[in-house]
Amino acid sequence: MTDIMPPGLALKKVDERIMTLNVGPQHPGSGHMRIVVQIDGDYIVACDPDPGYVHRGEEKMAEYRNYITNVPHLERPVIHDSCNVLYPYVLGAEEILGIEVPERAKYVRVICSELNRCIYTMYWLAIYGIFLGHSTMFMWPAGDRELLIDLMEKVSGARVTHAHFIPGGVRNDLPANFEDVCLRQVNYFEKRIKEYAAVFYDNPILISRTQDTGVLSRENAIRYGTTGSVLRASGVDYDLRVKAPYDVYDELDVHTNVLKEGDSYARSKVPWLDMMESCNIIRQALQKMPKSGSVRTKLKPNPKTKGPATVYKRVESGRGSLGCYIVSDGKTEPYRVKMSVPSFRNLLAMPNLLIGEKLGNMPSVYWSLNYWPVEADR
5 occurs within a structural domain: no
Question: Cα 70 vs. chain centroid, distance in angstroms?
Answer: 21
What is the reported pLDDT for 27? 62
44 occurs within a structural domain: no
**What integer best gives the mean pLDDT of the chain?**
89
The dihedral of CA 64, 69, 71, 77: what is its sign? negative
**pLDDT digit string, tens, across residues 156-174:** 988 888 999 999 999 999 9
**pLDDT digit string, tens, across residues 39-79:** 888 888 888 888 888 888 889 999 999 999 999 999 988 88
How far apart (Å, rounded) are the C-alpha atoms in residues 172 and 294? 10
H/E segment holding residue 270: helix 264-288
Burial of 31 (0-12, 13-18, 19+ CB in 10 A): buried
In 3D space, the residue among 89, 86, 62 whose CA is nearest the CA of residue 76 turns out to be 86
How far apart (Å, rounded) are the C-alpha atoms in residues 361 and 84? 30
Torsion angle of the four alpha carbons 79, 83, 85, 90, in this order, in degrees rounded to the nearest 10: 140
How far apart (Å, rounded) are the C-alpha atoms in residues 42 and 47? 14
32 occurs within a structural domain: no
How far apart (Å, rounded) are the C-alpha atoms in residues 336 and 314? 16
Checking if the pLDDT of 1 tops 50, the result is: no
What is the reported pLDDT for 268? 92
Phi, psi values for residue 165, rounded to 5°? -85, 130
**Which pTM was predicted?**
0.90
173 occurs within a structural domain: yes
The dihedral of CA 63, 65, 68, 72: what is its sign? negative
20 occurs within a structural domain: no
Residue 170 contacts residue 295 (beta carbons within 8 Å): yes
What's the domain count of the chain?
A: 1
Question: Cα 363 vs. chain centroid, distance in angstroms?
Answer: 17
| Domain residue limits at 372 | 58-377
How far apart (Å, rounded) are the C-alpha atoms in residues 360 and 43? 9
How far apart (Å, rounded) are the C-alpha atoms in residues 374 and 54? 6
**Looking at residue 130, which CATH number applies to its domain?**
1.10.645.10
9 occurs within a structural domain: no
Residue 364 contacts residue 132 (beta carbons within 8 Å): yes
What is the reported pLDDT for 372? 87
Checking if the pLDDT of 22 tops 50, the result is: yes
In this structure, the strands spanning 43-50 and 34-40 are antiparallel
41 occurs within a structural domain: no
Checking if the pLDDT of 4 tops 80, the result is: no
330 occurs within a structural domain: yes
Checking if the pLDDT of 367 tops 80, the result is: yes
